């Protein structure tokens, strides 16, 4: 079987052994599908978690577990790259599934369809007026998840711009001892960003009413 560059540097698991571990209900076994959510929804290994490769940095997987990473097939480099990133982050029991999901299906092992059943992170909201009072005391760090052009046109003073589309790749460097205020013009975007931060262990508040509420209540705006 041919391997793409980087495969050989990553410890491998095979489908037969992985299925055996499932059947004996091995403890501390975590199977991670690093493909995009749509691919996962169309079919994935029974019991696998959906964590796209770009989100692994903030996934906070248990460090004492055996983690088996897979993508679509052997020619897919995502699995090896994701495994190597976890190893570099200090995880010691990481393997890539040889042949990926295609090999699993080839053996006739059970697969599932459907979207990830991930519990929603619980987070609090804060009004614009209350948020401004805390910002005056430097108790919150505002994060603007709108596109950069909207951010430049007007924002909460001292906001950091992390567009939602770039969120997963940029939140790992945030300080864990701070509390963050997340806002956007679209409440779905700010909620998603807040959920991501809380899931990654950050203290987070979502601005109630978003950017529109901030402007409507005549709170300070920074433009440049």
CATH superfamily of 12-112: Rhodanese-like domain (3.40.250.10)
pLDDT of residue 5: 42
- Name which CATH class applies to 124-216: alpha beta
Q: What is the pLDDT of residues 85-142, one digit of tens each?
A: 888 888 899 999 999 999 999 999 999 887 665 544 556 899 999 999 999 999 999 9
pLDDT tens track for 162-200: 999 888 888 878 998 999 999 999 988 998 898 888 878
**Could you tell me the pTM of the whole model?**
0.52
Domains in the chain: boundaries: 12-112, 124-216
Mean of pLDDT values over 69-74: 87
Average pLDDT of the chain to the nearest whole number: 87
Q: How confident is the model at residue 36 (pLDDT cuts 50, 70, 90)?
A: confident
Q: SS3 letters for the chain?
A: CCCCCCCCCCCEECHHHHHHHHHCCCCCEEEEECCCHHHHHHCEECCCEECCHHHHHHCCCCCCCEEEEECCCCCCCHHHHHHHHHHHCCCCCEEEECCHHHHHHHCCCCEECCCCCCCCCCCEEECHHHHHHHHHCCCCEEEECCCHHHHHHCECCCCEECCHHHHHHHCCCCCCCCEEEEECCCHHHHHHHHHHHHHCCCEEEEECCHHHHHHHCCCCCECC
């Amino acid at each position: 079987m041919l391997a793409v560059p980087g495969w050989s540097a990553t410890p491998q698991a095979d489908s037969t052994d992985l299925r055996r571990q499932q059947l004996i209900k091995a403890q501390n076994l975590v199977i991670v599908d690093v493909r995009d959510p749509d691919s996962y929804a169309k079919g994935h290994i029974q019991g696998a978690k959906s964590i796209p490769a770009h989100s692994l940095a903030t996934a906070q997987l248990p460090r004492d577990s055996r983690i088996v990473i897979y993508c679509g097939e052997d020619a897919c480099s995502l699995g090896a790259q994701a495994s190597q990133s976890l190893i570099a982050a200090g995880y010691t029991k990481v393997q890539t599934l040889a042949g990926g999901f295609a090999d699993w299906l080839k053996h006739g092992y059970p697969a599932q369809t459907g979207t990830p059943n991930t519990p929603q992170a619980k987070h609090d909201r804060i009004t614009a007026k209350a948020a401004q009072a805390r910002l005056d005391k430097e108790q919150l760090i505002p994060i603007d998840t709108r596109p950069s052009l909207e951010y430049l046109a007007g924002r909460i003073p001292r906001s950091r711009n992390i567009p939602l589309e770039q969120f997963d790749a940029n939140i790992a460097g945030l300080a864990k001892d701070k509390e963050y205020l997340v806002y956007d013009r679209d409440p779905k975007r700010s909620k998603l960003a807040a959920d991501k931060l809380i899931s990654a262990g950050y203290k987070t508040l979502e601005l109630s009413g978003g950017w529109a509420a901030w402007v409507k209540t005549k709170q300070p705006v920074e433009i440049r």
